[in-house]
Chain A
Amino acid sequence: MKYVFTVFAMIFAVFLYTSSSLNKTAIAFDGKTYKDAFEQLDLFADVLARVNNDYVVDINNTELISEAINGMLLSLDPHSSYISPKEYKNLLISTSGEYSGLGMEVTLDEGFVKVISPIDDTPAKKAGIKPGDFIIEINDESIFGLSLSEAVDLMRGKPGELVNITIARNNDERIQFNLKREIIKRKIVTYSIKEGIGYIRISQFNENAYQELSKAISSLEKEMFGSVPGLILDLRGNPGGLLDQSIKISSAFLDGGKVVSTKGRKESDNRNYNADKGELLKEVPIIILIDEGSASASEIVAGAIQDRKRGLIVGMKSFGKGSVQSIIPLKGGAEGAIKLTTQRYYTPSGKSIQGKGITPNILIGYFPEDLKKKERKKEADLPNTLPIETGEHQVESEVIMPIDYPPNGFKIDSDYQLKRSVEILKSETYADKLDSST
């Protein structure tokens, strides 16, 4: 078998060498033309040769090629990147269990590491790190130019050790934080009863999300003596996570039917995800709270519940990350992996969320109107983001709706969005709005 392979490879190689010198031979393979691709790889080698020969000092070719790989992936969109073998191992751990770190979700924004949101009950949250903060130094070293995972690596490590973080807030304000690493147990679902209404907050969608949610629901039911009059599902600041968890969670509130569909470049990659039969909290009115920090998996849940008219979406327009990344291991993970945007997802009514986000049925602000300039960045503002699709899936329904801001003097900490949601669930507004929702 090995022998056959070698011969096969040799024939192939010979073919390639000849075709490269002819340059005109189009190589048909799998119905595609690879000629252009080879010419481009050829150009890459050409440049490597020149740099090796002429650069002022000796260069490290493997580093140079690594930079090329990063550049190539980052040029695609803000969510595609290379994952080193070590990071790949970490990734397999981090979607399942715990890690030792500071406890915040971060992203890369124009070369800077930006906090999407601190995770509840972690050193970062307790110290007062806020969504939208930029991390500019870790242990007094500038991290500009580092990849996201390199920066994350600096923050993770032995529990108990101190990590010094410099934050830039509101452009010029610089704040130092001295944080002690902790084992971040991602308790991601919390629940409580707010004025007789059930309240569940999901802070992200990791492997335990659905399990923790169903536990929270049964605890709520027990504490409310079997009858939950209404439920608020809080997905504010939830940056997303695993696709299958978002489907399971949507499925909990839907009795079968469409949840989300994903479309890749090839039609054969398109998939529809449906809810299982049977639902929790049947006929209980539901409000899902979202804001600019609700992204990805959060938007799938909100989109499905909204489109299927199972509940009302309340809050501010969501982040708008409607793309799915696949982790593609390289040489079985021995060479790391790439995280590559492979699909866009669509709500049950066929709307793409990419760049647009979910618009709530009722817009309610968290900050008073005069503070609304502080609006957070959305997917559509990220450099090099996937474009909003035009064509059959685009629904032109940018209706300007009034936003209900907290009145002057309202204490921000009292959470106006939550307060109003409770009121809506208790009033006629809920049913009216649900009926009139499109």
Chain B
Amino acid sequence: MYLLIKSSILKITSIILAAIFFTLWCPYLVAKAQISNNSQTLKKLELFADIFYQIRENYVDEIDDALLIQSALNSALNSLDPHSGYSSASDFIEQKKREKREYGGLGIEVSLENEVIKVNHAIKDGPAYMAGIRTGDMITSVGGNPVKGKTLAKAVEGMRGDPGDPIKLIILKPDDTKTELTVIRQVVRGRAVRHRIESGYGYVYIETFNNSELTEDLIDALNSITQGLNGDLPGLIIDLRGNRGGLLEQSIKVSSLFLNGGEVLSAKGKKLQDTQRYHAEHGELFPDTPIVILINSGSASAAEIVAGALQDRGRAVIVGRRSFGKGSVQSVIPLSEDNGALKITTQRYYTPSGKSIQSRGIMPDVLVAITPDTGEIKKRLREYNLPNSLSNKDDTNFKEVYEEIIYPNDDWNTSDDFQLHKAIQVLSLKKYHEIIEKNMNIGNLN
């Protein structure tokens, strides 16, 4: 449905006046935007101002200027790469709140079994633990509501809420004694690390780096493992599969635990002076313990930093599948006067040997699949599949070699973790040291 606009002389005059008005603003805008290739940008910016004006004047409904510009900014920034964007003032405030928001909880990890809630882990010194709840206990009623017949999400609903409120639980102990307890909700932090002893080796699973006390938790976990192994740690598996990353600082600190000084990571921006180098502190835990790190296509960002650093520095053998490949740093830049903030990609990450993680990811030393061979490499969602992702000129042919992937046999029981199984084997093989030496040589060349 098109209609070529016909305007009266008066309207044309007013359009011309206002258009001049807007166009005149542009040199000022260009100056403000500190753009060097002036003439083309100026022309385009004039066009932008002209269209902005036309919409304000002629659109069928009254339009909020701020919303218009917000859409413009969103679209422009999203076009840069999948991680850049604009947040309006209200979104920005909401985001900050969400980051800080702390919920009250009981400090237990649970699952639903036979229509009761099973406590898989009671966080030490958490409110539930203090009230006497231990790992292995069953919860049959929450806040007076029986668990029976509910989904897990529904059943645990009453456990979360405002900190300080009391909540009544009926507990079934493993010896079949029933007790009623009152637990006071507290702000609890999720456990960052899970650990166990696996075939005589230490095993730690780090779900996310989005936890400011991750490193402390990891140290605790390692201590508890060595205690369990009578002070000895013959090998360590760090599981970073599915770990989407998190705080940069935590990835440096975690890497630092296993490195005696030296570079962990560098981040480079457009200008040379933007380069930042991150180093490990001197002194390392378990300098003689072989380490295997497990990764897969879901391991991203901070997880790739740790894997990349320990691989390049010859401190760990990487087992699993090629990682996600998010090797870029975003900065949140707040704008003046309640104008929200922009999040833009400002740097790329490089492992100690100088390789960019962006789009390539980390290639395991030993490629191991989790499910049996289907005759081809299944496509996984990785950074380079994202539309418009930041390219890496070094990433040509950085692909998993199908022939090198170790698959479980067709009759492998898939509830057993084949990658973990292989990781344990690698720890005990002579091959472990061969790989480490080879990687150190590569690292030294650069």
Contacts and interface: CB of A to CB of B under 8 A. Distances in A.
Interface stretch (A70-78, A117-125, A154-162): A70-78
Interface in B266-316: 269-270
B62 to A, nearest CB: 6
B71 A71 contact: yes
Interface string B33-72: 1110100110011011111111110111111011111011
Contacts of B71: 71-72, 74-75
A406 interface: no
B75 A321 contact: no
Interface string B17-37: 110111011001110111101
A54 B335 CA distance: 14
A328 interface: yes
B79 A326 contact: no
Contact of A61 (B1, B41, B66): B41
B107 to A, nearest CB: 41
Given A50-B333, A56-B390, A59-B80, A323 B344 contact: no
Interface in A122-156: 144-145
A72 B1 contact: no
A3 B59 CA distance: 34
A337 to B, nearest CB: 10
Contacts of A52: 33-35
A212 interface: no
Interface string B200-216: 00000000000000000
A13 interface: yes
Contact of A71 (B35, B65, B74, B329): B74
B345 A42 contact: no
Given A17-B28, A324-B1, A58 B48 contact: no
Nearest to A30: B14
B58 A264 contact: yes
Interface in B74-112: 74-80, 84, 86
Contacts of B30: 45
Nearest to A264: B60
B28 A40 contact: no
A324 B1 CA distance: 5
A93 interface: no
B3 A55 contact: no
A68 B55 CA distance: 14
Contacts of A44: 29, 48, 69, 72-73
A43 interface: yes
A66 interface: yes
Contact of B72 (A63, A68, A265, A296): A68
A40 B66 contact: yes
A355 to B, nearest CB: 13
B44 A62 contact: yes
Contacts of B3: 243, 324-327, 342-343
Contacts of A339: 2
Given A67-B75, A70-B75, A330 B33 contact: no
A98 interface: no
Given A56-B345, A76-B63, A144-B387, A43 B339 contact: yes
Interface in A220-275: 240-243, 264-265
A324 B61 CA distance: 12
Contacts of A338: 51, 54-55
Interface string A33-50: 010111111111111111
Contacts of B1: 240-243, 296-297, 321, 323-325
B44 to A, nearest CB: 4
A50 to B, nearest CB: 6
A12 B22 CA distance: 10
B75 A68 contact: yes
Given A16-B25, A59-B80, 18 more contacts: A42-B32, A43-B69, A43-B73, A46-B33, A56-B328, A56-B348, A56-B390, A64-B79, A65-B47, A65-B48, A69-B51, A72-B71, A241-B1, A264-B58, A296-B1, A327-B2, A328-B58, A342-B58
13 contacts: A16-B21, A56-B269, A67-B79, A69-B48, A72-B51, A75-B68, A145-B387, A325-B2, A327-B3, A327-B4, A328-B5, A340-B58, A343-B3
4 tightest A-B CB contacts, nearest first: A71-B75, A75-B71, A68-B72, A48-B33
